[in-house]
Structure 1
Amino acid sequence: MEAEEEMGSVPLMVNVTDADILIIGGGAACVRRANALSEQGARVWQIAGSAADAVGQLSSPVVPTSDHGLPVRRLVLSEWSPELFFQMNPLKDALKPDHMPHATVDDKTICATEQLNRYAHFLLPWKMNVDHLSLIDVSWWRQFLFVIPMGDVSSLNIAVANIARESGILVNVATRETQSEFQGAGSIEFMAAVRRDPLTVGIYSGGVPTVSQVIKRRVTAALPETWAEAIAWLRSRRKDLTDFSLSEKERKLIMARLTQLIETADGDLREAQAYWRDIDKERGKTV
């Protein structure tokens, strides 16, 4: 059996705050992908399929954002036709009452720009098809950080992936059929992740999600919640050390020792804090 050729890739963390991201498709997988992006501060524009699909997503649980803990709310843009949507550039400037006089959520009309800015997941209640591609100028694609074609029509997914790549846009090839047809640089993959903010452990298994989930469970079990506080504390100490009259080598040795003490204690800070107090006394500072 011939082994599949592995793509050349590097793991990256991408800041999606205030970025526009396009998802094509509806269903549970799209909801999960949209949630993951919008809760990190992205504006997600999702061509959700039917009106029923879009309204159904409104009933999904509201997820919190990571920056201010505010709820991410979803808005069905019922008055936006394909012709209107594909001409709006930039989309974020279109979030004004005159563009959506009948946009509603919870039966309340949205009528102020500051209210609209509270929304991070915008649903278009119609299906995209290949004919729509002729309506779209290349500059329209370029307003997105990346595009995720994951609808139920493989030919459309492949066409969108290729157009986005030609436009210089990153593409998440989310369906098996698209992955088999879409070749070349510019494709991105989402990893399973274990978060202990500010720590994130990403897991990629080469396209076998069940393996990623097994490894995620193991990492979650092996990484106590106490590490979140420990890493935040270490970041503060690293910043403090820049004010000390020490060489770079001395700073690195102190950080290595602090980290070792926390590792030995499985995330508990007490030994490391005691060590830091001794250093602080020597420097004539107060923690």
Structure 2
Amino acid sequence: MAPTRVGTLLTDMRARLRAAGIEEADLDARLLVGAALGLDAAGLILRAGDAVSPERLTHVEAMVARRLEAEPVHRILGHRAFGEHEFALSPETLEPRPDTETLVDLAAEAFARRGDASILFADVGTGTGAIAVSLLARFPESRCVAIDLSEGALATAARNAAAAGVGDRFLPVRADYLSALGKALDAVVSNPPYIPTGDLAGLDPGVRRFDPALALDGGADGLDAYRALTREAASCLAPGGDLLFEIGRGQEADVAALAKGAGFSPIEARPDLAGIVRALWFRRDRAGANLNETA
């Protein structure tokens, strides 16, 4: 039997994914075949005529079979790029997604406006550490208390922080929201679970089956985490401290009301690339003053 060639294998895997109705079939095939063969996009072209060993062929088949079962391609690869860094994934973490870059960019503006040489902030529900690591890399004098309920997520995040060269400023803490912290924080940043419990069953299978429910389920109305975080942040942040959230579609008014009730003033609502308000920035009032005009 003639050996399978790289180009033929890529074509075949692309066809299988297309036939299954996978939207990003071409990209997914390239990523999976490339990873299994140790080739980048250019290598797949330049070595299209090379024979594929039986072991490598088996590896490709196994990876594509997982994709056909709705497992997201980056779960299969074990890592995903976010901002300027690559983040290892684990079963206890969400995949960092482009929407969250909206929150990171807004938080970076908040940090820059503070003008402090050193910023101590919390990343609540750190997961892979994508938010914390991205901000630590942008602000070399900053430190982050990275909070998660999952030991597995914290271990993954700590490895990612070390790989990005910020591990000495990344402080992992297993806790429920901000309950374990004192009053020393300059900022709190969080992409908390915000999907209403009743909506979980209707999520894309790749999310529903492979993302951890702990990081998705926001309670009956999707606002449980925001209730806790606005209340606890009021105790952990000094007057003038910044509170920044990622939110789901249509949650802006509800989250803003919770923040106002806890003593925070709105500074900015930032849309993502699709025009959906995705990130909110609040500041803790100084003796009840509205800080909107001072931002």
TM-score by length of 1: 0.32
**Which of the pair has more CA radius of gyration?**
1
Report the TM-score when normalising by structure 2.
Answer: 0.32
